[in-house]
Structure 1
Amino acid sequence: MISLPFGLFRRRRLTTAQQDTLLNNLEALLNQIDAALDQFGPDVEATDRNALVGCRASLRELFLIVVAGEFNSGKSTFLNALLGAQVLPEGVTPTTDAITLLKYGDEPFDELIEPGLRLHHYPAEMLRQLTVVDTPGTNAVIRQHERLTRDFIPRADLVIFLTSADRPFTESERTFLELIKDWGKKVVVVINKIDILTPAEQEQVAQFVREHVNRVLEQSPELFLVSARRALQARQQPDHELEQWQASGMAAFEHFVVDTLDEETRFRLKILSPLGVARRITEKYLAATESRLATLRDDVYALEQIERQLTLFHDELKQDAEYHLGEIDRVLTTMQERGEQFCDDTIRLSRIRDLVDGNRLRTAFEQEVIGDIYQQIDQRIQKLIDWLVEKNLRLQQNIDEFIQQRALAYRDQMLGQVGGSFAYNRQALLEHIGQAAQTAIARYNRETEAQQLAGEIQSSVAATAITGVGAVGLGATLVALFHTVLLDITGILAALTVAGLGLAILPAKRRQAKESLRKKIDEVRTRLHAELRQQIERQSEQTLHQIRERNAPFMRFVRAQQEHLIGLQRTFSDLMVAIEKFSKQVE
């Protein structure tokens, strides 16, 4: 907001060359801001673009005074009084349906430049030095009127804010003054229709308006009390009725416009006005850029959290798998203990008939050693597989829920503000991740996944087994390996055919059979552990890869946007420094 009193502008006069230099530098600065908005992207609001275009276009035009206020506050009458003629229509209903530019012309002439913008030429001496703009009411029933007023304020070099003595400083006027403050405009306040008040009431109204205006603008603007109706009547009298003109308050205001707003003051205000617009726009998009960066920083943190979850999942999976492998080990240990006991009980002279009868030996081995080992191994491995499938599914569900929460976290804040395509693209990517995760989860059939994993393990183990794949179930496939131990046991038959050697070799054959069984179980244990760990690792990597693949487009978006926005933040920050430096130079 421009806060310097007008008198300070008279300390040092600027030469024509200095003025040209300032105008050229300001134009270059506005061009830099325009280029920065191009970098910001398609989300720049049209109002801001138009304001910047308007400022550049009006740099070398006449000083622009905009008269604003509620409809029926007497703006048209006020301007007619100032110009000394019935130039603009007046009435108790909204009479100004367009922004009207009042410019000097040798003859009165009116033309519509574009929808909502009218140009009126009039031979008033005041208009040789400045352009006056009449605007529709800020609280007009026809909302298009108010929009035109709001869109034109950024172009103003000075705003004359007119309020009526019969309803001073309404809520809509307070709102409109805040808008003017945002654009950094110099404001002069005029209280019209003071002829309906006593002097005491005039002072009371003036104090009321001054306090509220100061609170909104955070400064004390120039304030004038006038009766535009009496001033116009005085102007229309042949002798001008000087006393009535003075009493109307318009003489003081006319002096302000003609004498106080001299050429030097008008030039400096004309320079500071675009700087106010530049400051507002730069601050706005610097804040929007920093808001986006903050969102992306949170997104990066969220993605890092996901990656930590994935790493933790991978580590925990390997640790927890050891419990299930230990359960399988216990089954194998039980089998080994049974086998050793079987050897101790069977390979002895009292069981010579069983040893000679291979079928009986095989049957006894299967009953006493193998027994329900098939089922136990299958149950333990199936339990491991079910656990692994459940862990993978739970991880995907947790990540999906995390992403969905992230998608909602900034939805209300980003959408509807200067979020635009950034917010839309970010939201779309997050929702795509969520939808892809939901699809993957919906297709994740636990039973099918478990069967497929079990088949892969069985095939891999059997492929390395010396017996091949002939049994049903992984447990049966593994147990088939132990039947080779019987070859060692039945080898006793050949030894016993040598008379006199049976008693000598029987203990050795028992030790040999037990050692063969122990070796075979260790071999199976090692092979099974290796294969199960490999399958667990493969399953884990597959799940992590799928999740990372789903997150990849969003991660690329975050990184690209971050790099772009960091550069844009630096650009807007440098522009803010340039604006403040330029303002001090002018002031």
Structure 2
Amino acid sequence: MANRQRREPHTVTYDELTGADEEYERQILNEQRKLTETSRKLTSQVGATSLDRILSSQSSSFLEELQLETTFSVIIAGEFNAGKSTLINALLGKKLLESGALPTTDSITIVASSSSSSSSTVKDDDGDKDSPSATAASTNDVSTSLGVIVHSVSTLPLLDDLTLIDTPGTNSAWMDHTEQTLRLLPAADLILFVTSADRPFSDSERDLLQSIQAYHKNIVVVINKMDILDTSGGDHGAVQKKDVLDFVIDKSSELLGARPVVIPISARNALSSKLIQSSSASSSLSTVWDQSNFAALETFLKETLTTKAKIKSKLSNPLGVTEGVMTQCLDVLKEQEEELKIDVATLNIFRSQFEGWKKELAADLILSQKTMTNMVQEEGHRCDILLSRMNFYNYHYWTLFETNRLEEEWVETKREVSIHRQHDEDLKADLMEHVLETAESVATRGRAQGQAVIEYLGKRPAVRNNQSLVGSVTIVSSFEDTRKNLVERLSNAADDILNTGPDKTIEREHLDKDQLFRSLKHSALLSSSLQVGALSSGGLLAFQMIDPIVGWVSLSSLLFGGGASYAMGKARICQWYKEQWSRRAHHLNKALDAITNKEVEKVSRRILDGVAPYTRFVETEQERICDLQEQCQTIASASRNLRNRIDKLR
């Protein structure tokens, strides 16, 4: 037996593969390689980790190590014990590969022509170099990095320009067999999909065929072990064989979307015929060979795999894989998009609720501002109340002679305007109470809203590839500073309205009262003077000390002037007092509005900053998915166009 020896891989050039040096084909080859590399990079961006196996099978390093990059590869795939190894032995006409009821092929096995590896040296059992007969046998070279067995043979003309690859059977007790097969299939230029006549198209075979149909591979379905059905009826089980053939055609057409080439054979009978062909030429041998239908498979391979067909297949097969990978990438992106829709909806709900919260808080603050400004404005009614308590006589007497009584009446007016307040007779204390309530409300509601947002969004953390959290919501900090700022600024605004002077210690109420009393006194003096003048004119007229006409004119004028002075003085003084407090109420309202709006905006920003990582993630992911979808569609379209150009090659 020949010793196994490591041989250096023979690199086949593009010219050796095509047999021609055509610039157009070179251009297509370069475009194909660029698309393949671009799709590989894009897939890593998509995050489709399940496609790593497919991409690695298309990588130059993997294909070079298997010696498949520039050779036409025919991969034999199927379930274990379907007769894949026997089929290869039948093609070779010798028992090169082990076969049996148990899974005998436990690694990828490559059968290639020895003419492509003339540099290898194989020794026989005695250590001498191979004789011609030894070369015609085979050599086994084991690739240690991939665990691949390579057989070099020189007995099959078919192998001069192609390579046969036997894959471990799927659905065996060893799960890695299926993984090895699935990894290699995308690299195939032609797939002989082998199923057994005694169990055609099992579940694992359907899954395997479905997993590779997306890559636009050339697939030939081979029904092996047809000889098992020879005893199932007359004419060597012809009816049963036809049923199996029709069943496989229907199922494979359904899975592949088009009717594939289906060839029924008996690899065992074909191998037996070839093994004894040299020593026997009996008619029975010919019958066994004819019944094996193996000639149909060999004829198909020879007639179909022309040089031009191999060139086109070698150029287009990677494009089929690219399109399949892009389709799967789009599926992955669609899943990510569907997953992200929940985050998008969550974010939209948060934004809607947050805007509602802001409007509700703003409405409450407006009501609070209105309450405080009304308190200030109500102060302007005290003059009306005071004057309504005084008749013509009291107006003049209290103002001119009973100032203490006027003070008492003034105090009573405060009680009337403060009937709805919390602190009787103390506007400042009442305003401060509302200031504290407003500040506490903003701080408390801001804190509650922030915590509610955290709790709500925390139930829906953004995830990527089911691995790590992205854009987790941060904890909203304490709102105690909000309360303090509001209390300080609102208190200052109230002080500015109520107090004056450099140190804000002089109450405007006292200043207004003093000026009011002075104005009342001046008005009362004027009115009294006119009334006294009228009395004097009346006395003079009564004693006929003046001309009657002059007396009556003077009397009427003074009476009218005194009454008018009294009425107009009261109205003017009341209007002045109201305007004083109306202006203050207006200024207070503007100050409160500016202060509360600014603090509410700070609270809003604090909450939004807390969820900013989550928001950024959702928005960034939307852009990423959309951009990757466009790139995948562009690559798939370019690949289809290039494949159409390859199909038109003559």
**Shorter chain as normaliser: what TM range?**
0.7 to 0.9
Q: Deviations over 1:348-371 (max 9, x none)?
A: 356477514798677656656653
Report the equivalent of 1:203.
242
- Structure 1 residues 495-574: aligned runs within 5 Å: 514-515=574-575, 517-550=577-610, 552-553=612-613, 568-574=628-634
Question: TM-score, normalization: structure 1?
Answer: 0.78
Offset at residue 513 of structure 1 (A): 5.9
Describe the SS at the equivalent of 1:483. Answer: helix
Q: Deviations over 1:379-422 (max 9, x none)?
A: 555554455446545654675577557646xx5xx636xxx8xx
Match of 2:204 among 158, 166, 172: 172
- 2:147 is equivalent to residue 116 of structure 1: yes
Q: Deviations over 1:244-291 (max 9, x none)?
A: 222222222222223332333333322332221121123333555577
Match of 2:403 among 355, 363, 376: 355
Change (3 A) 1:132 1:300: same
- Structure 1 residues 17-416: aligned runs within 5 Å: 17-18=21-22, 21-39=24-42, 41-42=44-45, 43-45=47-49, 46-53=52-59, 61-105=70-114, 106=135, 107-113=137-143, 114-125=145-156, 126-197=158-229, 198-237=237-276, 238-239=279-280, 241-286=285-330, 288=332, 318=362, 321-332=365-376, 334-345=378-389, 348=395, 351=398, 355-356=403-404, 371-372=424-425, 374=427, 377-378=431-432, 380-381=434-435, 384-385=438-439, 387-389=441-443, 392-393=446-447, 396=450, 400=454, 403=457, 407=461, 415=465
Report the equivalent of 1:443.
478
Report the equivalent of 2:553.
none
- 2:470 is equivalent to residue 428 of structure 1: yes
Offset at residue 98 of structure 1 (A): 0.6
One-letter identity of the residue aligned with 1:117: V
- 2:499 is equivalent to residue 466 of structure 1: yes
Describe the SS at the equivalent of 2:59. Answer: helix
Moved more, 455-464 or 183-192: 455-464
Offset at residue 330 of structure 1 (A): 4.2
- 1:355·1:492 contact (CA, 8 Å) conserved in 2? no
Offset at residue 136 of structure 1 (A): 0.7
Change (3 A) 1:15 1:142: closer
Cα distance in 2, alignment partners of residues 565 and 469 from structure 1: 64
Structure 2 unaligned blocks of 5 or more: 1-17, 115-134, 230-236, 419-423, 532-561
Report the equivalent of 1:474.
none
Change (3 A) 1:290 1:216: closer
Q: Deviations over 1:436-485 (max 9, x none)?
A: 2xx21x7346xx854652333012332564347999xxxxx9x9532333
Offset at residue 17 of structure 1 (A): 3.6
Cα distance in 2, alignment partners of residues 362 and 314 from structure 1: 43
Cα distance in 2, alignment partners of residues 52 and 547 from structure 1: 49
Report the equivalent of 2:514.
487
One-letter identity of the residue aligned with 1:537: N
Report the equivalent of 1:16.
20
One-letter identity of the residue aligned with 2:395: R
Cα distance in 2, alignment partners of residues 332 and 60 from structure 1: 90
Describe the SS at the equivalent of 1:89. Answer: coil
- How many pairs are equivalent? 546
One-letter identity of the residue aligned with 1:16: A
- 2:435·2:491 contact (CA, 8 Å) conserved in 1? no
Report the equivalent of 1:10.
none
Change (3 A) 1:224 1:263: same
- 1:335·1:373 contact (CA, 8 Å) conserved in 2? no
Question: TM-score, normalization: structure 2?
Answer: 0.72
Q: CA RMSD in A?
A: 4.1
- 2:385·2:413 contact (CA, 8 Å) conserved in 1? no
Moved more, 574-583 or 325-334: 325-334
One-letter identity of the residue aligned with 2:495: A
Change (3 A) 1:188 1:212: same
Cα distance in 2, alignment partners of residues 396 and 545 from structure 1: 11
Q: Deviations over 1:77-124 (max 9, x none)?
A: 222122111111122221111111111223511122123322122232
Q: Deviations over 1:206-251 (max 9, x none)?
A: 1222211111112222222222222222222233733322222222
Cα distance in 1, alignment partners of residues 101 and 58 from structure 2: 35
Cα distance in 2, alignment partners of residues 307 and 98 from structure 1: 57
